[in-house]
Amino acid sequence: MHLVDTVEVEPEHVDRYLELVSTLGMAVMTGAGASFVSCATTPGDVGERQHIQVVWAFDDFVHWNEIRKNMVLDPRYHEYGGTAASLRVGGTRRFFVPVTLSPSL
Amino acid sequence: MLRRFEVYALRPDSPVDDVRALEMACRRCGRFIPEVLDCAVGWNLSDAPVQLVWEHAYQSPEAYRRYMVHPYHAVVMDRYLLPDSPQRIVIDGPLGAGLYGYACDTPSYRMRGGTRRLVLLRIDTKASGADVARLRDELERAPADAPGMVVSVMAANTMGAAWFDGVTPVMGPPRWTHVWEQGFATRDALDSYRQGASTMAGVERAGWDRGTGGIVTRSAELFYELSGD
């Protein structure tokens, strides 16, 4: 299953946010047991704030419980969270579970 | 049983709708996770710089562990709480980690309404077991000469360090070593206790120096009107 964080940032903060995810975020999340899936942004230079979507994967909520424990006990996690909060103006967090889609008849 | 409190200091600029959503998520938790018992929330009325309190309980550590892995916990509750969540509306608590609780044999904390008071205690680590037991006995006998106090439970704050499975500490000793949970039928009853002539009210007014052997080195209080689901 996937954890999908979508944050809204001012265009001038996009690079810093991506750097944060690729360094501290990557170290904390993968160190805690999550797998990195993807990162993408909405296009810039359109006169709007941009959205950054970061996706992490893990097995299930039992696995997530272990990841959460490992994150909370890692001092870097709190630095990561604080810095991320200072760079974003909003966002959402959602968990997604896979489904089996039947082909249409 | 495990008795547990989560105490939240809210970000001052949190959207009102998100604050209400967190409050409702706490209050309704038992609807979605049946292992969560005696769910109630309250808005702190003391001077302590925290706002929302969520009190609840579990029948056993096994029940607590089911709560920990339940989707409602991760998807709904943690959305507003975890440090890296884009929807976080809390700040790191000035009272230390905002999780307190204790193990108990029966739900002697239970009351259907009224005013809850939670006194966080830091007891000298050098205090003997006998001294701590004597203090506990005195605190739990407090209702005998404080008629408005209908609940009085004092216990070691085991949940502060054993938050992962309810039993095993995963971090060092908590800042607040013990909790003294009280209940009053009304806010007036609480005020009467605080201003009254009971032994423990006097001890509290004296800053815990009198009659406790000096083993309480610090305290903080929260109190709130109970609001259940």
Tens-binned pLDDT, residue by residue, of chain B (229 aa) = 999 999 999 999 999 999 999 999 999 999 999 999 999 999 999 999 999 999 999 999 999 999 999 999 999 999 999 999 999 999 987 666 699 999 999 999 999 899 999 999 999 999 999 999 999 999 999 999 998 999 999 999 999 999 999 999 999 999 999 999 999 999 999 999 999 999 999 999 998 877 778 899 999 999 999 998 8
Query: Which of B75, B86, B92 lies nearest to residue A6, judging by beta carbons?
Result: B86
Biggest CA–CA distance in chain A, Å, is: 53
Q: Which two tokens stand for residue B57?
A: 């309980």
pLDDT of residue A100: 85
Domain membership of residue A10 (yes or no) is yes
Distance between CA B9 and CA B215 in Å, rounded? 28
Domain membership of residue A102 (yes or no) is no
B200, B154 in Cβ contact below 8 A? no
0.90 cut: is pTM over it? yes
Contacts of A78 in chain B (CB under 8 A): 83, 92
pLDDT of residue B213: 81
pLDDT of residue B96: 61
Overall number of domains in chain A: 1
Angle at B47 between CA B43 and CA B51, to 5 degrees: 30
Distances (CA, A) of B136 to B15, B139, B212: 41, 5, 10
Range of the domain at A24: 2-96
Range of the domain at B76: 2-228
What number of other Cβ atoms are within 10 A of residue A30's Cβ? 13
Which residues lie across from B221 on neighbouring strands?
B119
Query: Which of A7, A25, A69 lies nearest to residue B164, judging by beta carbons?
Result: A69
Domain membership of residue A73 (yes or no) is yes
Overall number of domains in chain B: 1
pLDDT of residue A104: 65
Can you give the C-alpha Rg of chain A in angstroms? 15
Domain membership of residue A103 (yes or no) is no
pLDDT, average across residues A59-81? 97
Q: What is the DSSP letter of B144?
A: G
pLDDT, average across residues A60-84? 97
Domain membership of residue A101 (yes or no) is no
pLDDT of residue B145: 92
Interface confidence (ipTM) of the complex: 0.94
Contacts of B77 in chain A (CB under 8 A): none
Domain membership of residue A55 (yes or no) is yes
Query: Which of A6, A65, A90 lies nearest to residue B68, judging by beta carbons?
Result: A65
CATH number for the domain spanning B165: value is: 3.30.70.100
